[in-house]
Structure 1
Amino acid sequence: MENIENKINLFESINSIKGVGSKISKYLNNKKIDKIKDLLLDFPYSQTDRSNLIETNELEMGKIATIRLKVLKYNFPRIKNLPNKIICEDAKGKIEIVYFNSKEPYLKKIYPLNSNVVVSGKVNYYKNKYQITNPEYVTKDENIHEIKRLIPKYALTEGLTEKKYRKIIENVLNAIPDLCEWHDDDLFKKLNLPSWKDSIISLHNPKIKKDLNSIYYKRLAFDEIFTNLLIHSYNREKIKKIKKKQKKIINYNLDFKSKIGFELTKNQKIIITEIHNDLMSEKKMFRILQGDVGSGKTIISFITALNVIKSGYQCALMAPTEILAKQHFNSFKKLFGYLNFNVKILTGKTKLIKGITKEDVYVTL
């Protein structure tokens, strides 16, 4: 395996990789790969088993075959657009290796007459002859170990071959630095998670059985979730430091029981008070209200909206679907229509009307 340098910078451009020029870089960019880290996170989706070396009498049409052959002769036609062919054989029979748009000097270089080569590719049958067209791998007999193994399969774009892409990946994998862990050792022992480097190398290794529940994916998922949590936490703290104009929000003690048909629970009342205090604060509110179905999240939102409206402000209640938006709209009007608020529903099908900003409540999708 060929090294790039002793170690690599994961955030460097892919242009820094040996063998990746402007042309290959453009093809990689088409795969949304701009930096070395992007390349490492592009994992194979499958694998091809080229480890089974067979003979010509065992060939099956449509199957991948790895076969050791002796080069007999060339068939390079003088008529334009006809394919070049290399006639090869083993102890059991003959096979044609077919190439389209390949130069004769190149083919003679990789298929010297009377030499032994190892070829791996998809077998087809044409005019009573077995053929392998544009084989993915060709090497000298002494380098059979490069082919005779499990080969990872990556999603490719035009201009990238499996062999070229795999070589780039292997070069990078061979130069991954040993990064210091940024997580607590005790936590990782408890979760039984591998190192980042081991996870990356293992996910590219076709010999290691893995799925989305493997410890290697879990390690990377843990990093991603934890990183997002840190970023959001940092942003929240940063925004909280920004003073906003303090608003006077009145917490109205309306007779909700007679209107909604039930008494609010102790916890619901506590949450309404906490939200009210947040709204009165000089800091922006960051709050998520969680609860089981039927626990009263919607009524808490409605009552909070009422307090905001009766204090002279507007309120928007957003729903993920049009059906739910209509349900909330109808429920709000049914419960609090007697208060004579201007309530409108906005969905993707709603045309914005003049004066829409004058409504007190929006129920929107």
Structure 2
Amino acid sequence: MPSLQDPVTAVRGVGPKLAEQLATLEIETVEDLLTYFPARYDEMTPTNVQFAKDKQKLAVKGTVMSEPIISRYGYRRSRVAFRLLTGMDVVQVTFFNQPYLAKNITANMDVIVTGTWDAPRQTIKGTKVITKDLDQQSGMGAVYSVNKHIKQATLQKTIRQAFTQYERFIPTLLPVKLRQDYQLMERREMIAQLHFPTDRELAQAARRTAAYEEFFLFELRMLALRQANREADGLSIQYHNDEVRAFIKTIPFELTNAQKRVVNEICRDLKAPYQMNRLLQGDVGSGKTIVAAIAIYAAITAGYQVALMAPTEILATQHAQKLAKVFAETPVNVGLLTGGVKPKAAEQLRAQIAAGQINLIVGTHALIQDKVEYANLGLAIIDEQHRFGVKQRQTLREKGNHPDVLAMTATPIPRTIAITTYGEMDVSIIDELPAGRQPIQTQWLQAKQLETAVRFLKEQLATGAQVYIVSPLIEESESLDVQNATALAEEYAEIFAPTYQVGLLHGRMTNDEKAAVMDQFQAGDIQVLVSTTVIEVGVDNPNATVMMIYNADRFGLAQLHQLRGRVGRGQRQSYCLLLADPKTDDGKARMETMVATTDGFVVAQRDLELRGSGDVLGKRQSGMPAFKVGDPVADLKMLQIARRDASELLANPAWENTDEYQPLALYLHRHQLATHFD
């Protein structure tokens, strides 16, 4: 029987070539195709321009009064213009960068034009022109996010064909009670109204249904995963409490109350018989590394190995160096395994890991290669966990015999969002900074104040401090008027010569080149480090007191906060200078937020308010799930209700055995590990 899990090639008209094109949009099954929802809608019901408002999006039906004129300007840029008689009015229609339209439109042809109305100029800035089946055009036209591999019209046609072919086989997943309680649509109607809406109200009702369904299914998977983790066999790591207490006494500072609380939560999980799956959140500089060190030591006292996986070689190397110092007087043997380790040394290291001679292995994704075998892996720690995909994290979990997993992130996420969206994990938060840390003083300067900033840098350097200067790009870009790191490094080398040395760090350098520059900066041989955002995470030099960021308005708040966290890591007062001339209200608001607070959770909340969930909660920025329809920020209440409903359903062990729940049980079984995070 046909199923939504059929490959897209089962849809009539989809051959291997079109299937390849659809795959670039991550569409591989019929369900992927039917749930690839529109990004927006064009109003298709013709409007009288006499009643249209300026900047209104509209559709206008009329007769072409003049042959289209095409004019070209700039590189691959063009304009097609013609006059259109609509009702009693003649208006100008302009299409940009669609030169092929000139061949398709002729004088006296009846058309519908969609676009934006420019009232002062009596002009329509066109987005689309329709020349066929004009009488059938009404309602709203779905517009999809496409790429260079597939055309809008092809995707629209393919989705319509898939719906026609599979409409009878679309199961409704939400139970009757929930649909009645919240006045939600059946899944078949929801999909129809999202792709082919008959009016705006029905489209909104369908989107509301889709958002709730997406949240509900997501939370079901998260809670089912959590339940499965609890029920699965795990390690009970019986660490030596006296040894751990003795180790904590050797730490040269008092742990904060938040650190003590989190250490207790982690140690409780280590002893429990189920597999730990805990997320440790802490703002930059809050002391996550020492908490991780205590957990590492506890596992090693029980005879287990620990693996710590970091996203970059710089960060992995730094962790290995720092932990080697922390564990200098203990039986912890630290090994560093990254892609940059020479083949012969890597082979020797793998042999020592397999023999159990190294009990703390720090590295990048090299830790999860097939060739790496652990003697007795008990604890896996994933730093900046959102930078790894689901499969990479799962592979590390599968090394050894169900090791406990501690994931760490310095990307602050408001607690309600973290607890709700990381539903399969327990969440620990370090919400206080170590004693003696002074808040970083942040100042927003305009480009014309650059001389003042440079003077301040010289004053700081004269005290023996070091400085970061961050640029958004490596090389010049024609599209963005921004300073680039290479030019900046040359410029500052002249400004500070011969007294101070300037180094350059960017992502296109080899790992050896990066390591050499970082070593020189850490040793104080380089006083000024000009860098791209490659230093955003984990770089730690307590002697660096100033972070100056060029074109700061080009960065998101979360990234600015991470960059600022590279200073203020010692006892000295530190500073962050934001050079920016923002053109938008959002850009100004970001600068004002950075000046107003150094609390990462406040910054994160403001970031969510300014940008919504799209980028902030997307996989690129913080690793949280990229939902297709729902917005975890704007729809937080709905997300929390969906979580409660999912929890109530799973609390009833008999739910899977009733006929009504069969489609949902099948869906959950099929998608249990597909957690949106990859």
TM-score higher than 0.5 here? Answer: yes
TM alignment of 1:154-173, pairs within 5 A: 154-158=144-148, 161-173=151-163
Counterpart of 2:248? 260
Aligned twin of 1:364: 363
**Cα RMSD for the two superposed structures:** 5.8
How does the TM-score come out when normalised to structure 1? 0.58
Shift of 1:190: 6.8
Q: CA deviation at 1:270?
A: 9.7
Count of residue correspondences: 322
Distance 1:163 1:306, change over 3 A: same
Residues 122/297 of structure 1: CA separation in 2 closer, same or farther (3 Å cut): closer
When Rg is computed on C-alpha atoms for both structures, the one with the higher figure is: 1
- Once the two structures are superposed, residues 253-291 of structure 1 have per-residue CA deviations (whole angstroms, 9 ceiling, x without a partner) of 54443442289989978975874575xxxxxx6222467
Q: Residue 342 of structure 1 contacts residue 360 of structure 1 at CA under 8 Å; is this kept in 2?
A: yes
1:51 aligns with 2:50: no
TM-score (norm 2): 0.36
| Alpha-carbon shift at residue 41 of structure 1 (Å) | 1.8
Change (3 A) 1:185 1:271: farther
- One-letter code aligned to 1:156: V
1:211-248 alpha-carbon deviations (Å, 9 max, x no partner)? 9x9552231233245346657877997x859xxxxx99
Segment drifting more, 228-237 vs 22-31: 228-237
Q: SS in structure 1 opposite 2:141?
A: strand
**1:154: Cα distance to partner?**
1.0
Residue of structure 2 equivalent to 1:299: 294
Aligned with 2:28: secondary structure? coil
**Which residue number in structure 1 is paired with residue 277 of structure 2?**
288
TM-superposed CA distance for 1:363, in Å, is: 3.2
Measure, in 1, the Cα distance between the counterparts of 2:188 and 2:149.
29
Q: Is 2:134 the counterpart of 1:136?
A: no
In the aligned structure 2, how far is the partner of 1:97 from the partner of 1:273?
Answer: 67
Whether the 8 Å contact between 1:118 and 1:140 is mirrored in structure 2 is no
Measured in 2, the distance between the counterparts of 1:64 and 1:215 equals: 26
2:308 is matched with which residue: 281, 302, 317? Answer: 317
Say whether the 8 Å CA contact 2:263–2:294 is kept in structure 1: no
In structure 1, what residue type is equivalent to 2:25?
K
- CA separation in 2, counterparts of 1:220 and 1:248? 36
Return the alpha-carbon distance in structure 2 between the equivalents of residues 44 and 359 of structure 1: 53
Measure, in 1, the Cα distance between the counterparts of 2:90 and 2:266: 82
Q: CA deviation at 1:302?
A: 2.0
Distance across 2 between alignment mates of 1:32 and 1:230: 25
Contact 1:308 1:315 in 2 (8 A): no
Indicate yes or no: 2:124 matched with 1:152. Answer: no
SS of 1:176's equivalent in the other structure is: helix
Q: Hey, what does 1:176 align to over in structure 2?
A: 167
Following superposition of structure 1 onto structure 2, how do residues 3-82 of structure 1 map, counting pairs within 5 Å? 9-18=3-12, 20=14, 24-25=18-19, 27-54=21-48, 66-70=59-63
The answer to whether residue 322 in structure 2 is matched with residue 330 in structure 1 is yes
Please list, as runs of the form range in 1=range in 2, the aligned pairs for 1:111-126 lying within 5 A after superposition: 117-121=110-114
Residue 437 of structure 2 corresponds to which residue in structure 1?
none
CA offsets per residue over residues 96-152 of structure 1, 9 Å max, x none?
Answer: 999966999x989xx9x7x8x33225699xxxxx999995312355x1x515x4322
Quote the residue 1:244 is aligned against: none
Preserved CA contact (<8 Å) 1:71 1:87: yes
Amino acid at match of 2:308: L
* Alpha-carbon shift at residue 194 of structure 1 (Å): 5.1
Distance of 1:164 and 1:218 partners within structure 2: 29
Distance 1:333 1:189, change over 3 A: farther
Aligned-partner residue type, residue 303 of structure 1: A
Q: Secondary structure at the match of 1:337?
A: coil
Distance in 1 (alpha carbons) for counterparts of 2:241 and 2:116? 80
- Partner of 1:222 in structure 2? 216
One-letter amino acid of the structure 1 residue matched with residue 47 of structure 2: L
1:288 partner letter: N
Q: How is 1:200-215 mapped onto 2 (pairs within 5 angstroms)?
A: 200-204=191-195, 205=197, 207-208=200-201, 214-215=208-209
Question: How far apart, CA to CA, are the structure 2 residues paired with 1:269 and 1:66?
Answer: 63
Q: Is the 8 A contact 1:66 1:118 kept in 2?
A: no
Percent identical: 16
Q: Distance in 1 between matches of 2:156 and 2:242?
A: 69
Measure, in 1, the Cα distance between the counterparts of 2:208 and 2:28: 27
Unaligned runs of 5+ in 2: 69-79, 118-122, 365-678
Following TM superposition, by how much is the alpha carbon of 1:161 offset from its aligned partner in structure 2, in angstroms?
4.5
Give 3-state SS (helix, strand or coil) of 1:308's partner.
coil
User: Which runs of 5 or more residues in structure 1 are unaligned?
Assistant: 1-6, 76-83, 125-129, 242-246, 279-284
Other structure's SS at 1:344 match = strand
C-alpha distance in 1 between matches for 2:315 and 2:81: 64
Specify which of 344, 360, 364 is matched with residue 335 of structure 2: 344
Pick closer, same or farther for the CA change 1:227–1:301 going to 2, 3 Å. same
Amino acid at match of 2:32: D
Q: Give, in whole Å, the separation in 1 of the partners of 2:49 and 2:241.
A: 88
Indicate conservation of the 8 Å contact 2:45/2:137, yes or no: no
- Could you tell me how far apart the structure 2 residues matched to 1:158 and 1:24 are? 13
- Higher helix proportion (structure 1 or 2): 2
Q: In structure 1, what is the Cα distance between the partners aligned to 2:220 and 2:34?
A: 20
**Distance in 2 separating the partners of 1:187 and 1:216:** 13
Question: SS state of the match for residue 177, structure 1?
Answer: helix
Deviation at 1:178, TM superposition (A): 6.7
**Rounded Cα–Cα distance in structure 2 between residues aligned with 1:121 and 1:196:** 30
Distance 2:150 2:193 in 1: 23
Q: 8 Å contact 2:244–2:297 — kept in the other structure?
A: no
Matched-pair contact (CA < 8 Å) for 1:43–1:154: yes
Judged with a 3 Å threshold, the aligned counterparts in structure 2 of structure 1 residues 139 and 350 are, in CA distance, closer, same or farther, namely same
